């Protein structure tokens, strides 16, 4: 199929000319809304270079296949079936999706996504003012590696850093990142495709792909700023529109796009059935009721052909079956963890005793109850941690308690969770969570307490509620910042009030504990973890005789050797540590016959 470039009115429309939009729309209507339906017909007004036939663009994660440049549906189907392993090709702008699908119904499927379009003829540059971060072009290896980690953590297929670096000067592909102004950490990314450079598009279109935001980032509006930046980029290039694809049920994101001026257009996409796309086309089973910690394990099991039976989806129970072997799990707690090992972790006093016997470092501890003894312990250590002896998800835990009044209130709060309350010496350092599976370290992450970023408009209480909603959306409802006495104590200790308005870009820590369930964030440090810390964590798991465990330590530096163990979790959340292969290693442990040799190599 061939076509030609536009002159005159089309160019003015791309630059936002006043009269051009109506003529541009009128021409589309005269063509039977061809472009709106995702394909371009020959326009006698177009003069110039023809369309590139059978056009594809390698995006690193797979090929973007421009179906409307194929004159033969059979050739389009063959192109889709040539998808390489571990890639995700997408054919978009199909004239006859039903025909192409019928040519290989066992191998292809219609993608359940909507296409949204931002027309630039009435677009005004966005007035988005990032707070605490900046958007810029991706420019070096560090950026490319950060982009790779971020996309992997969002369970997206990332382009390799080498692929990105080779295309930094590409006119077809453009890569942008959002960078935290304080730490320099990459907290968002987006990729753009220029259709004019890709295949000589006579309609001068563009598209946006691979939008991802770090769910741990505290700053609001990162995704919106990235979309606005890339829209400004293509509008400035004189493109006529920008398209994007979004899952049909992603209501929150769709509302954002519509608010920014995107309109839904009847454009369809085809993909090849593969392990990556499996959740989009598999049979009638519905695993939506599972939380992220169970779902990540179930998805990995199904990918390997292991049978899955939901026992109690709401509570995270499921059974995995392969051959004659069946194992029931509750998230990452399986029948291969004994009841005795589970009880060792459940009672923090027993955990500490066993770790001491193994020669491992732990903080000073005593049972609360006698008011005079409690105050003496506080006076001896200056600051303490108060926590229930039995409990999870950070409930009833108070950190850095310094006054007798705070101590009494914290003990009362912990007693509502467990009859036995523990006092521990407070030690400075970063909160480190290490995942051990089959007595080997698989992942490590620093856990940081919840923070908010001021915007100069909303008070601290409102910012906490807004940040809590973002954390909940990013974690499937697992992470929220409670507006309780512990949050108020943390805010007031810093000399602030809940009704106070923070300056734009000003950050404030609103929880002392770094627990994910109370709004904390995790930051992967697996590659930085020292050999010493790996060794003591594996010793701790063996001392507790628990093959799958999440160990909590306080460390001055994850690359160093100093540490103290705080507690052990018999049911760690594996989904929190992507892109580390926690679910893969868990299934390797349960069903070693399904492990790939490369995945099971020690020390990888």
> pLDDT tens digit string along 227-239?
999 999 999 999 9
Q: What is the average pLDDT across 206-217?
A: 92
Q: What confidence category does residue 128 fall into, taking pLDDT thresholds of 50, 70 and 90?
A: low
**pLDDT average, residue stretch 464-472:** 85
Phi, psi of 538 (to 5 degrees): -70, -35
Q: Is the pLDDT of residue 456 over 80?
A: yes
Which pLDDT score, from 0 to 100, does residue 213 have? 92
- Stronger pLDDT, 487 or 59, i.e. the higher one: 59
Q: Of 264, 170, 249, 156, whose CA–CA distance to 209 is shortest?
A: 156
Q: Which fold has domain 118-264?
A: Aminopeptidase (3.40.630)
Tell me the percentage of the chain whose pLDDT exceeds 90: 53
What mean pLDDT do residues 100-122 have?
A: 93
- Strands 263-265 and 63-66, sheet pairing: unpaired
Q: Is the distance from CB of 235 to CB of 205 less than 8 angstroms?
A: no
Higher confidence at residue 437 or residue 410? 437
Report the predicted TM-score, pTM, of the whole model to 2 decimal places.
0.68
Q: Kindly report which listed range (29-33, 454-458, 497-501) carries the lowest average pLDDT score.
A: 29-33
The residues that bridge with 270 in the sheet, in sequence order, are 91, 110
Report residue 223 as tokens. Answer: 């995704």
255 pLDDT above the threshold of 80: yes
**DSSP string covering 289-357:** TS-HHHHHHHHHHHHTT-EEEEEEGGGTEEEEEETTEEEEEETTEETTS-HHHHHHHHSHHHHHHHHHH
Q: Does 364-426 match 118-264 at the fold level?
A: no
Average pLDDT over residues 215-223: 84
Strand, helix or coil for residue 233: helix
Most confident stretch, 244-248, 405-409, 433-437, 501-505: 433-437
Burial class (CB in 10 A: 0-12, 13-18, 19+), 310: middle
User: 485 pLDDT exceeds 90?
Assistant: no
- Name the range with the highest mean pLDDT among 40-49, 275-284, 363-372, 470-479: 363-372
Mean pLDDT of all residues in 411-438: 90
pLDDT confidence tier of residue 602, bands split at 50, 70 and 90: very low
* CA distance linking residue 96 with residue 336, whole number of Å: 52
What's the pLDDT at 30?
37
Report the mean per-residue pLDDT for the chain.
Answer: 85
More confident of the two residues 517 and 425: 425
List the structure tokens of 279.
């959740």
Q: What is the mean pLDDT of residues 542-570?
A: 94
Round to whole Å and give the CA distance between 92 and 37.
11
pLDDT of residue 45: 39
Give the whole-angstrom CA distance, residue 501 versus residue 484. 19
Q: How far apart are CA 524 and CA 563, in angstroms?
A: 18
| The predicted structure's pLDDT at residue 284 | 47
Domain ranges of the chain: 9-114, 118-264, 364-426, 450-511
- What is the structure's pLDDT at 17? 33
- Confidence (pLDDT) at 237: 94
What does the pLDDT average to over 494-512?
88
Strands 398-401 and 421-425: unpaired
Q: Has residue 6 got a pLDDT over 70?
A: no
**Cα Rg of the chain (Å, integer):** 27
Comparing 520 with 6, the larger pLDDT belongs to 520
Q: Which tokens hold the place of 579?
A: 């892109």
Give Cα separations from 508 to 354, 458, 503 (angstroms): 37, 13, 10
Read out DSSP for 271-288?
EE--TTTHHHH--S---T
Overall CATH class of domain 364-426: alpha beta
State the Cα–Cα distance between residues 298 and 281, nearest whole angstrom: 16
pLDDT attached to residue 285: 61
Which residues, in sequence order, are bridge partners of residue 423?
366, 386
**Are the beta carbons of 94 and 269 closer than 8 angstroms?**
yes
Confidence of residue 23 (pLDDT cuts 50, 70, 90): very low
Contact yes or no for 561/534 (Cβ under 8 A): no
Read off the pLDDT of residues 289-342 as tens digits, 9 standing for 90 and up.
888 899 999 989 988 889 999 998 888 899 999 988 999 999 999 999 999 999
pLDDT at 561 over 70: yes
């Amino acid at each position: 199929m061939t076509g030609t470039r536009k002159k005159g009115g089309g160019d003015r429309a791309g630059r936002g000319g006043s009269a051009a939009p109506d003529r541009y729309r009128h021409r589309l209507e005269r063509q039977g809304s061809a472009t709106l339906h995702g394909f371009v017909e020959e326009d006698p007004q177009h003069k110039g270079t023809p369309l590139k036939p059978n056009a594809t663009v390698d995006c690193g994660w797979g090929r973007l296949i421009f179906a409307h440049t194929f004159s033969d549906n059979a050739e389009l189907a063959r192109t889709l079936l040539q998808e390489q392993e571990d890639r995700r090709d997408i054919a978009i702008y199909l004239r006859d999706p039903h025909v192409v699908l019928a040519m290989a119904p066992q191998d292809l499927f219609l993608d359940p996504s909507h296409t949204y379009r931002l027309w630039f003829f009435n677009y005004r540059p966005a007035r988005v003012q990032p707070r605490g971060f900046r958007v810029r072009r991706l420019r070096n290896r560090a950026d490319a590696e950060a982009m790779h980690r971020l996309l992997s953590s969002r369970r997206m297929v990332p382009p390799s850093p080498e692929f990105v670096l080779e295309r930094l000067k590409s006119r077809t592909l453009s890569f942008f990142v959002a960078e935290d102004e304080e730490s320099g950490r990459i907290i968002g990314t987006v990729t753009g495709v220029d259709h004019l450079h890709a295949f000589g598009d006579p309609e001068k279109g563009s598209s946006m792909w691979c939008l991802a935001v770090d769910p741990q980032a505290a700053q609001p509006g990162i995704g919106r700023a990235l979309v606005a930046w890339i829209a400004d980029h293509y509008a400035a290039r004189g493109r006529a529109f920008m398209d994007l694809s979004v899952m049909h049920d992603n209501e929150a994101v769709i509302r954002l796009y519509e608010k920014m001026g995107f309109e839904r257009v009847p454009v369809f996409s085809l993909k090849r059935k593969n392990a990556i796309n499996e959740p989009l086309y598999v049979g009638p089973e519905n695993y939506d009721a599972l939380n992220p910690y169970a779902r990540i394990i179930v998805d990995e099991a199904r990918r390997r052909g292991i049978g899955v039976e939901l026992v109690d989806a709401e509570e995270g129970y499921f059974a995995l079956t392969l051959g004659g072997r069946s194992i029931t799990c509750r998230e990452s707690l399986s029948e291969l963890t004994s009841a005795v090992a589970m009880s060792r972790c459940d009672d923090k006093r027993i955990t500490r005793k066993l770790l001491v016997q193994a020669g491992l470092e732990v903080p000073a501890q005593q049972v609360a109850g006698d008011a005079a003894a409690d105050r003496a312990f506080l006076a001896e250590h200056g600051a303490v941690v108060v926590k229930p002896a039995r409990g999870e998800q950070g409930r009833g835990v108070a950190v850095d308690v310094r006054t007798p009044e705070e101590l009494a209130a914290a003990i009362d709060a912990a007693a509502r969770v467990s009859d036995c309350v523990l006092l521990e010496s407070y030690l400075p350092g970063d909160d480190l969570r290490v995942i051990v599976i089959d007595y080997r370290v698989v992942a490590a992450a620093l856990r940081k307490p919840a923070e908010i970023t001021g915007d100069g408009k909303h008070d601290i209480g409102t910012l906490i509620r807004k940040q809590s909603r973002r954390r909940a959306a990013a974690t499937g409802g697992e992470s929220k910042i409670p507006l309780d006495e512990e949050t108020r104590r943390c805010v007031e200790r810093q000399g602030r009030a809940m009704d106070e308005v923070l300056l734009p870009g000003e950050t404030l820590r609103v929880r002392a504990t770094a627990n994910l369930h109370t709004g904390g964030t995790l930051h992967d440090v697996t590659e930085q973890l020292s050999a010493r810390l790996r060794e003591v964590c594996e010793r701790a798991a063996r001392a507790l005789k628990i093959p799958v465990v999440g160990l909590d330590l306080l460390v001055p530096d994850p690359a160093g050797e100093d540490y103290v163990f705080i507690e052990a979790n018999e049911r760690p959340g594996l989904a929190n540590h992507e892109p580390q292969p926690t679910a893969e290693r868990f299934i390797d442990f349960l069903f070693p016959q399904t492990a790939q040799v490369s995945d099971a190599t020690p020390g990888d």
